[in-house]
Amino acid sequence: MPRIPFPHTRRGRWLSAGVVVLVLAAVVVVWTRSGNDAAPVAHREQTLSVPADPGSAAQVRLDTTVYFPATTPAPAVLLPHGFGGSKASVDGEAQELARRGFVVLAWSARGFGHSTGQIGLNDPDHEVADASHLVDYLATLPQVRQDGPNDPKVGVAGASYGGALALLLAGQDKRVDAISPEITYNDLAQGLVPNAASTTPPDSATPAAGAFAADGVFKRSWAGLLFSAGSGSSAGGLSTDAPEPGQESDSSSSQSGSSQGGSSSTAGGGASAQQQLPSADSVCGRFTAEVCRAYTELATTGKAGPQTVALLRRVSPASVTNRITVPTLLVQGENDTLFGLDQSDANARQIAAAGGKVQQIWYAGGHDGGQPGPSLRAKIADWMWFQLTGEGGNPVTGFSYDVQGSLRASGSPSVRIQNAPAYPGVEGGRTQRDSFALTGDEQTIVNPPGGVPASVSGIPGLNSLAGSSRVTGLFGVDMPGQSASFTSRALDSQLLVAGSSTVRLRVSGTTPDAVLFVKLYDLNPDGTRTLPANNVAPIRVALNGGTSEVTVTLPGVVRPIESGHALQLVVTTTDQAFSTPVSPATYQVSLVGDLAVPVIPGTAVGAGWPVGNLLGIAGVLVAALLVALIAAIRRRRAHQADPELDAVPLVIDGLTKSYPGGLTAVQDLSFRVEPGQVLGLLGPNGAGKTTTLRMLMGLITPSAGEIRVFGHRVTPGAPVLSRIGSFVEGSGFLPHLSGEANLRLYWDATGRPAEKAHFTEALEIAGLGDAVRRKVRTYSQGMRQRLAIAQAMLGLPELLVLDEPTNGLDPPQIHQMREVLRRYAATGRTVLVSSHLLAEVEQTCTHVVVMHRGKLVASGPVADIAAAGGEATFRVDDAEAAASALRSFDGVSTVDVEGDLVHADLDGMPRADAVAALVRAGVAVEQAGPRRRLEDAFLRLVGEDG
């Protein structure tokens, strides 16, 4: 199976560690940098009490901060924070808005920061009701413009969790005058469990009918991050740093701060009793019991039941968008695997259908790419000012979206803005679609047991950053055997994809439903692929053991596909970011019709570049081209096969492995293995045998020299490694599974067809009998060893590499293993055995390589190596007489008698002379020849100390 190319060298590991540090640092910068170094504005911190429940006397304390502009009265903006944050998270943005002229109220929502209460995910009776009480509080401030009694001039902004609150409040409280939600959701059920239920309109970007099953596919990784953010919020609320109810603290250094005044009245009134917090050891942190139950169901089953869908629907903007009529500016990120463009599309369509004035901006950011930059934040503030005051003109007209292009000299991607007359589907806008034929017949894909190993499409929160820095190889890994691909022809001109592509699939299988992941790659002419925004369409297709056709709407992206590139549609059975079925299954997937790609005609603006930037870009591109060219040449040379060696199982030439500190484990090792040989690799402990085998398997990289298998050079992850079966280090069996299940799981992970595994032969080799159905934790060491060797023989590889295969075996099992290896080599395959049992090597192997202190000391046929000494063996009629005669010759020593055989070290005397002497002594000699004993040869080669 293809590897995820993590580095194996020290230098590579340090480089990877540096990349990780830079990426994490970039995340911090993207999400915390406000871009505002001016002096803080006047502000007031205060704790306000609100009802814990509608009509309840119990209270929840909200930690708030009000920011004041230089001139009042002024319109107000409620500024809620994102999930897992607090009012401190939006401090920089609040100060920017205050400098723009707004009174800004920021607060920590229930369960976050120093606010008490439990997290209800923007429950209309709790968090949304809290925001309405804050509007009541703004109506009491003289610094806020008023539309009427208890009706302040107020807009609501906010990102993600805060953006959803802006929508929910606008649908519930008619005093809200304008909203500008950012990177938020329409339906939380669709956001966390795509196609969980028929909760989205037919025109939205997530279809909810047809052959789709109703319980959706759970975004396990994102949901886990969000749940952790909420679970870790319980430290706040009871902190002694929080102001007491009714108290306020002025933190102003400007003249306006001293004149704010105001009373310590609480919004909503009522008693000051606090709501009971959950216990400290609660597994759900500060989530409400209802939310906790819903998450537990999703995390344990991977599906959303009716109660969970109903809860998520109730706390979603989709429940109120039909009542939102105030001016709305939707700002959505193009790099967002949590809440994609489809969520903003649904909000826009539903609000427009209700009669609301909707404007939309897509920008090059999101939960994976960062918050809006200073320029976009200023445009949002100007839009809000126009809506609340009518001054300055509307800065947002039509529809705009960002298109990421080439790299700047700084290394960040350039971004141009594309303007269109109107958003498609709203105000007369229309989506144009181009059709592309994809090639590819029906393909069979497998869901492996347990859903592992899983394909990798991205890492939540880091996708765009890794992609922008061209950190390749981490993402876009589709497991072989688990993915089907369909490819278009190369494009004749650039195609600017803007929105959600659609395709119709035919899926067959024997299970009630199929969980699949559909994605659209940008395929480079050199074969490399890019997954735009790392976006995937997870679908659960109702099969009922038969065949279904389903139209899949892929996630919305903005991506320029360059001329010469192609589009590649991939359907996989697994994705590590989602919950996948654990039961193995097989599906057949084919296309029905063409791929429809959305195009939004518009005009590019903001694409001009100074000459200096152009020169910088050119320099970076030239350097990148040189690096890519050198890397491509090296890859080509590394994987280019030597045609003269395509039938030779193994050639090792000048192999050396050195470690820091001066240790050289293997030094200038060279030998060759031919088809049909059983080669024994011998040497004392520390000779370098295991290091050599690890380099042969691509587990470590040589310091010098090379290894070629069937003419292909071995490197970590080289394709030719699939032609080798190995048992080099620990087998890693799962103890709770049977031996047979472990073998089948291992084979499924390779992605190769089951009929090519030769399970029957492998299990016969293992010789475990009925024990093969027992759990591996009940196995003895010898049984585990036999199972490991059977695993290495799965698929009947052309080269079999075994390290100490007879460890833990008893004599009968060793004899059986000897016969197995001989039969295996007799088929024309090759076996390489590393062993310390010299007698076994002598009886099993045809050839031997002897290593000592990392160097080759001898190689050749076993018989030649064993006979390389000066000892001879004579078969005689009188062994004792022969021994006595031989001992009488000068220089002859070490005479041993073994039945009718006499062994002697002749010390250079020709065997013919010894035979003649025996005959003269009256001894009849039937046979004479060299003594063949590998142990003696081995000791002579490596020394007794070896």
Residue 220: name the closest of 488, 521, 582 by CA. 582
Where residue 515 falls among pLDDT bands split at 50, 70, 90?
very high
Give the Å distances, CA to CA, from 289 to 128, 293, 296: 18, 6, 10
∠ CA 18-23-25 to the nearest 5 degrees?
95
Question: DSSP letter at 437?
Answer: -
pLDDT of residue 427: 61
Residue indicated by tokens 């050749």:
860
Q: Which of 98-112, 300-314, 486-500, 796-810 has the highest mean pLDDT?
A: 98-112
Q: Is a pLDDT exceeding 90 seen at residue 320?
A: yes
Evaluate if residue 227 carries a pLDDT over 50: yes
CATH of domain 41-190+201-244+254-401: 3.40.50.1820
- HSE-CB for 495 with a 13 A CA cutoff: 26
Residues 6 or more apart whose Cβ sits within 8 Å of residue 484? 440, 443, 444, 445, 570, 571, 572, 589
What mean pLDDT is predicted for residues 498-504? Answer: 91
**What are the strands, taking DSSP E only, across 125-260?**
146-148, 151-152, 154-159, 176-182, 248-250
> Does 278 have pLDDT greater than 60?
no
Q: Which of 494, 327, 297, 444 is nearest to 397 (CA)?
A: 327
Q: What percent of the chain has pLDDT over 70?
A: 76
Confidence of residue 942 (pLDDT cuts 50, 70, 90): low
Query: Does residue 154 contact residue 177 with C-beta atoms inside 8 Å?
Result: yes
Q: What is the pLDDT of residue 722?
A: 82
Per residue in 632-685, pLDDT (tens digit) is 665 555 556 788 888 888 999 999 999 887 788 999 999 999 988 888 888 887
- Amino acid identity at 532: P
Tally of CA atoms within 13 A in the half-sphere of 774 that contains its CB: 12
As given in the structure block, the two tokens for residue 464 are 């765009």
Residues 602, 401: Cα–Cα separation, whole Å? 10
What does the alpha-carbon distance between residue 904 and residue 896 come to, in Å, rounded to a whole number? 6
The residue among 305 and 132 whose pLDDT is bigger is: 132
Residues 904, 883: Cα–Cα separation, whole Å? 8
pLDDT of 283? 65
d(CA 126, CA 121): 9
Confidence of residue 102 (pLDDT cuts 50, 70, 90): very high
Residues in the chain: 946
The confidence score (pLDDT) of residue 520 equals 95
The CATH fold assigned to 867-941 is Alpha-Beta Plaits (3.30.70)
What are the Cα distances from residue 25, in Å, to 32, 222, 334, 411, 451?
11, 20, 21, 15, 32
Distance (Å, whole) CA 465 – CA 91: 24
Q: Take residue 833 and report the two structure tokens written for it.
A: 């055995």
Return phi, psi of residue 751, to 5°: 80, 5
Architecture of 432-604 per CATH? Sandwich (2.60)
pLDDT at position 731: 66
- Give the pLDDT band (50/70/90) at residue 266: very low
Q: Among 478, 599, 454, 459, which residue's Cα sits nearest to residue 534? A: 459
Average pLDDT over residues 217-239: 68
Model confidence at 31, pLDDT cuts 50, 70, 90, reads very low
Radius of gyration in angstroms for the set of CA atoms belonging to the chain, rounded to a whole number:
37
Residue 620 has pLDDT above 70, yes or no: no
Q: Work out whether strand 328-333 and strand 176-182 pair parallel, antiparallel, or are unpaired.
A: parallel
The DSSP output letter for 277 is: P
The reported pLDDT for the residue numbered 932 is: 55
Q: Rounded CA gap, 121 and 128, in Å? A: 10
Per-residue pLDDT band for 120 (boundaries 50, 70, 90) equals very high
Instruction: Kindly tell me if the per-residue pLDDT of 291 is higher than 70.
Output: yes
**pLDDT greater than 60 at residue 273:** no
Tell me the per-residue pLDDT of 696-741, one tens digit each, with 9 for 90 and over: 888 888 999 999 998 898 888 788 888 888 876 666 788 888 888 8
| Total-model pTM | 0.59
Where exactly are the structural domains of the chain? Answer: 41-190+201-244+254-401, 432-604, 644-864, 867-941
d(CA 77, CA 493): 46
What would the mean pLDDT of 503-516 be, rounded to a whole number? Answer: 93
pLDDT at residue 918 above 60?
A: yes
At 29, the pLDDT band (50, 70, 90 cuts) reads very low
- CA dist 782 and 863 (Å) reads 30
Give yes or no for residue 346 having a pLDDT over 50.
Answer: yes
Tokens of 308: 């969970």
DSSP class of 283: T
CA dist., res. 525 & res. 535, Å (int): 22
Average pLDDT, the chain: 79
**Mean of the pLDDT values across residues 339-350?**
92
Angle at 263 between CA 257 and CA 268, to 5 degrees: 125
Higher pLDDT among residues 824 and 214, named by residue: 824
More confident residue, 658 or 885: 658
* Level-2 CATH architecture, domain 644-864: 3-Layer(aba) Sandwich (3.40)
Residue 718 CA to residue 634 CA, distance in Å, equals 13
Minimum mean pLDDT among 470-479, 553-562, 861-870, 907-916: which range?
Answer: 470-479
Average pLDDT over residues 912-937: 73
Beta bridge partners of 652: 671, 707
Structural element, H or E, at residue 569: strand 566-572
Per-residue model confidence as pLDDT tens digits over 13-28: 444 444 444 444 444 4
- Contact criterion met (CB below 8 Å) for 652 and 705: yes
Tell me the pLDDT tens digit for each residue of 683-692.
887 788 888 9
Distance CA(587)–CA(515), nearest Å, equals 10
The predicted structure's pLDDT at residue 571 = 96
Residue 502 has what pLDDT?
93
Cβ-based neighbours of 327, under 8 Å, separated by 6 or more? 177, 178, 179, 356, 357, 359, 387
* pLDDT value, residue 590: 95
CA distance 339 to 310: 19
pLDDT at 503 over 90: yes
| CA distance linking residue 230 with residue 121, whole number of Å | 10
Domain 867-941 in the same topology as domain 432-604:
no
Which tops the pLDDT comparison, 404 or 435? 435
- The half-sphere exposure of 410 on its side-chain side, counting CA atoms within 13 A, is 3
Query: Which segment of 83-92, 108-117, 637-646 scores lowest on mean pLDDT?
Result: 637-646
127-172: pLDDT as tens digits:
999 999 999 999 999 999 999 999 999 999 999 999 999 999 999 9
**Residue 188 near residue 222 (C-beta atoms within 8 A):** no
